């Protein structure tokens, strides 16, 4: 799904993949998928095929995200889990990630790679405010 839509996952799900399991004292309640505007319809169709339905459609002023590089945020759910689909305003799905409030969550994974933007900080449980 990530590969087909040129999408990435960021937020707490990516951070949990980077840190040792015994150092994560939280659970990820949702998944944040970042995608380009042109790939949005394909991702929505794939999520629907996997029994995810729109819970909250197209918020443009979502409180958890800096709005400057975000076109829209749509939340999907399947009764147990939520997926936030964040559509970038720019030519890169990564743009919103670099506007996060903290370097601790400036991490992401693609279909085949995991990226830690600030490894010397993140892997030592440190962060800077952006």
Judge: domain 2-18+29-122, CATH 3.30.390.50.
no
pLDDT tens-digit series, residues 25-42: 767 778 999 999 999 999
Tokens of 6: 């040129």
Q: Is the dihedral of CA 104, 110, 114, 116 positive or negative?
A: negative
The whole-number pLDDT of residue 129 equals 94
Helices and strands in the chain, H and E counts: 4, 7
User: Residues 112, 118, 120, CA angle at the centre, nearest 5°?
Assistant: 115
The whole-number pLDDT of residue 25 equals 74
Report how far residue 5's alpha carbon sits from residue 17's, in angstroms, rounded to the nearest whole number.
Answer: 21
The whole-number pLDDT of residue 57 equals 87
- Residue 66: pLDDT band (50, 70, 90) is low
Of 87, 110, 114, 117, give the one whose Cα is nearest residue 8.
110
């Amino acid at each position: 799904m990530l590969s087909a839509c040129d999408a990435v996952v960021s937020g707490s799900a990516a951070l949990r993949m980077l840190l040792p399991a015994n150092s994560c004292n939280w659970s990820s309640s949702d998944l944040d998928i970042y995608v380009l505007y042109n790939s949005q319809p394909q991702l929505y169709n794939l999520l629907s095929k996997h029994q995810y339905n729109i819970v909250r459609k197209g918020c443009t002023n979502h409180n958890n995200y800096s709005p400057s590089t975000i076109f829209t945020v749509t939340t999907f759910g399947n009764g147990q889990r939520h997926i936030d689909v964040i559509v970038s305003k720019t030519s890169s799905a990564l743009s919103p990630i670099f506007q996060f409030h903290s370097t601790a969550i400036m991490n992401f994974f693609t279909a085949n790679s995991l990226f830690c933007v600030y490894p010397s900080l993140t892997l030592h449980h440190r962060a800077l405010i952006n």
